[in-house]
Amino acid sequence: MNPNVALQIVPISFTKEIYHLTQNCQDNQKHKELARVECPGKKSSWPELVGKDGKVAAAIVEIQNRHVTVEIVLEGSAVFEDWRCDRVRVWVDAYGVVTKVPVIG
């Protein structure tokens, strides 16, 4: 590599991660606003479920908002990034423990 060149090559995976982190922060705020305004049901996020068993968390979400279907998703799994009023994803680790706040979307 030429020391006079000021170009630094960044691996694509790292660039994608930064983009997704930035995009996720923006999207999360937008999703919260959309859920509050457009989606039926009184509850749109469940921060109290982080650290709980995923199956228990899914049951609680379905009880508290009958307008949604819950998907339990393993961390790192590929999912469609479309936003839907009738879906809540419960992200779990390898032990089945909720790792992210479940939200409508």
Cα distance from N-terminal residue to C-terminal residue, the chain: 45
Average pLDDT, the chain: 78
For residue 80, is it within any domain?
Answer: yes
Asked whether residue 103 is domain-assigned, the answer is no
- Given a contact cutoff of 8 angstroms between Cβ atoms, the answer to whether 74 and 92 are in contact is yes
pLDDT in tens, 57-83: 999 999 999 999 999 999 999 999 888
Model pLDDT for residues 16-37, shown as the tens digit of each residue: 444 444 444 455 556 555 555 5
Is residue 98 included in any domain, yes or no? Answer: no
pTM beyond 0.75, yes or no: no
Assess contact for 77 and 98: CB atoms under 8 A: no
Q: Is 46 exposed, middle or buried (0-12, 13-18, 19+ CB in 10 A)?
A: buried
Is 99 a member of any domain?
no
Q: How many domains does the chain have?
A: 1
pLDDT at position 25 is: 47
Q: DSSP assignment, residue 94?
A: T
Cross-strand partners of 40: none
Q: Which domain holds residue 48?
A: 12-92
Nearest to 96 by CA among 51, 64, 60: 51
